[in-house]
């Protein structure tokens, strides 16, 4: 399963270099993850009410090409590994077919402030992700 999410670049995303401020790519790919999680019918607000939330444990990212104001970008998200307590994702930001940014992201879950394994219902949705349309 590879999920695609569209991002448009606005003034707020750029810096004085004229290009997207580097930290904002992490916002773009987070939007894509939130969208993907919703697609999998995992309700993050319900999780939060139960004092659980997904957190980023680590990222490893390369900035390949600068994106600019007005660019329409695609964020492509692929699952690399679904463990019992963490997920590994590969996320790319593309302009047309050119890759601007690529990141490996490790996501975990915390419950009441502590790392926890995924509840069975969430793990099942993650494992059955290919059932959900993009």
Positions touching its own copies (CB under 8 A) are 8, 10-12, 14-19, 21-24, 26-27, 30-31, 34, 38, 44-45, 48, 53, 55-63, 66, 68-70, 113
Closest to its own copies by CB, 16 vs 121, is 16
* Dihedral class, residue 96 (left if φ above 0, else alpha if ψ from -120 to 50, else beta): left
Question: 38: part of which helix (H) or strand (E)?
Answer: helix 24-39
125-to-98, 107, 131 alpha-carbon distances in Å: 31, 15, 9
Question: 86: part of which helix (H) or strand (E)?
Answer: strand 86-95
Closest CA to 101 of 84, 121, 76, 123: 76
């Amino acid at each position: 399963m590879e999920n695609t999410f569209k991002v448009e670049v606005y003034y707020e995303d750029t810096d004085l270099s004229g290009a997207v401020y580097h930290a904002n790519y992490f916002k773009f790919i987070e939007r894509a993850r939130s969208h993907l999680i919703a697609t999998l019918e995992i309700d993050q607000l319900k999780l939060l009410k139960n004092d659980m939330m997904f957190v980023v444990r680590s990222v490893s990212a390369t900035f390949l090409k600068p994106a600019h104001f007005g660019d329409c970008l695609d964020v492509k998200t692929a699952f690399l590994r679904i463990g019992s307590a963490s997920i590994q994702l590969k996320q790319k930001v593309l302009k047309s077919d050119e890759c601007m940014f690529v990141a490996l992201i490790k996501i975990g879950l915390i419950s009441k402030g502590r790392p926890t394994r995924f509840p069975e219902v969430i793990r099942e949705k993650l494992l059955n992700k290919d059932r959900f349309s993009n």
